[in-house]
Structure 1
């Protein structure tokens, strides 16, 4: 088995991003994801809080990623949380969202690297019957459409995470998200109820869902997962 070095670039929003010390224990899934590979894999996490496909491009954050790409690299693309909300300044209309995903895919391939599209991980919203709501339906469908149209590997993190929420239920699933009572942590003295961002435990569970997607796609990267790191 080849042990040539591999670089994986993550681009996306706060759900994947590295967190500053004053944001802890909130944790992006990119952190435990990076820890699960052997030494031949380097994960470069370019995801940033509050970004959409549009603002990530407008701020020039994509340019250094493209400039560093080479054959054998991967680019994992997960956006939607901020793109899909019309009331947010980061809002990206559907047609522009599709065009931006297509740009990430095309420019990645032009440099011999492999793009992987991910739908957004589900928010922890349950309906009155106790079933997880499909909070990303429209933009998750757009991501799926781009993956099909351009034959791009897709990890359906939205579908996978909603299945996990359904299995855990409304109460047990709180432990996966940034839910803290007053006094639990000095960064959140008044407590916090956040059903979008993850606890450390939740980030690990979400990273496992994505790693399982890597294996199911039979990406070459799958052979580099360190199973002893579970």
Structure 2
């Protein structure tokens, strides 16, 4: 009888200790980024070229949100799938994670048959990313491709991704997926900067500007540190404006480095110098 009572008392004590024990570490939300060179991480030897996914990580409370940037230079939706870059992400996805999906630059490059993806195949590939992300109870977000720096003679920014941005928006509407229209917002931002000042955003370097490019470099597609940060700010503004679950709740406190202007689109964003 005494032995039985001792066992019962010990069992109750264990239950109480378990009930009041400190909870385990909170699961961090992973934000996977899939896309092309405008988003990708860059090695030191191509600095100051910077993908906008690189500064994005600084906008989140890293105790709650971890950015895992899987974007790769030169990839279209087709080659990202063909090279088996997507499947490991699907396998790793946990409930409540995010996938930011931004392609288009290389899909539309019909002069590069190794990466070109016709619009209807692009649509199918985006649909696959969305469906398989949701299949893991994670959140897909579609982003239109960021504008290239291209002005007409009157100084008006030109739309450079008409067909592929349209398909992206259509897939977002079809599947009721959040859409961040970086194409439109980045055009508005670049227009605010104008023909000359917008050179600060893109990898336009004169000879001697940087040791990585001793002969200069002319690139109206990829970004400097400033340009990448400005593009990341556009995305963060939409995370807040659209109240994306989890992400909007765990933005880092503003600092001089990661401060986001109150505008939620490029039209209202004011140009600054580095």
Q: Normalising by structure 2, what TM-score?
A: 0.82
Q: State the distance in 2 between where 1:110 and 1:22 align.
A: 39
Higher relative contact order by CA 8 Å / sep ≥ 6: 1 or 2?
1
1:165 is displaced (CA, Å) by: 1.1
Q: Post-superposition, which runs of at least 4 consecutive aligned residues in structure 1 deviate over 4 A?
A: none
Q: Secondary structure at the match of 1:177?
A: coil
Aligned to 1:163: 188
Cα distance in structure 2, aligned partners of 1:44 and 1:4: 15
1:52 pairs, out of 76, 88, 96, with 76
Match of 1:202 among 218, 222, 227: 227
Residues in 2 aligned to 1:28 and 1:132: alpha-carbon distance in whole angstroms = 21
Deviations 1:39-76 (A, max 9, x none): 21100000000000000000000011101001010000
Structure 2 residue aligned with 1:222 = 248
Match of 1:73 in 2: 97
Q: How many Å apart are 1:166 and its aligned residue? A: 1.2
Deviation at 1:155, TM superposition (A): 0.2
State the partner residue of 1:41: 65
Residue in 2 that maps onto 1:106: 131
Residue in 2 aligned with 1:190?
215
Structure 2 counterparts to residues 171-190 of structure 1, below 5 A: 171-190=196-215
d(CA) in 2 for partners of 1:48, 1:164: 25
Alpha-carbon separation, structure 1, partners of 2:239 and 2:27: 18
Structure with the higher strand share, 1 or 2: 1
- Out of 85, 94, 118, the residue aligned to residue 109 of structure 2 is 85
Instruction: For 1:218 and 1:55, locate their aligned partners in 2 and report how far apart those are by CA, in whole Å.
Output: 32
Residues 1:23 and 2:17 aligned together: no
| CA positional deviation for 1:4 | 4.8
TM-score normalized with structure 1 length = 0.97
Match of 2:155 among 130, 134, 142: 130
Distance 1:165 1:187 in 2: 25
Say which SS state the counterpart of residue 73 (structure 2) adopts: coil
Name stretches of at least 5 consecutive residues in structure 2 with no aligned partner.
Answer: 1-25, 260-274
SS at match of 1:194: coil
Is the partner of 1:61 in helix, strand or coil?
Answer: coil
Report the alpha carbon displacement of residue 184 of structure 1 after superposing the two structures with TM. Answer: 1.2
| Structure 1: stretches of 5+ with no match in the other structure | none
Counterpart for residue 62 of structure 1: 86
Quote the Cα distance in structure 2 between the aligned partners of 1:217 and 1:127.
Answer: 33
Report the Cα distance in structure 2 between the residues aligned to 1:131 and 1:65, rounded to whole angstroms: 40
1:212 aligns with 2:237: yes
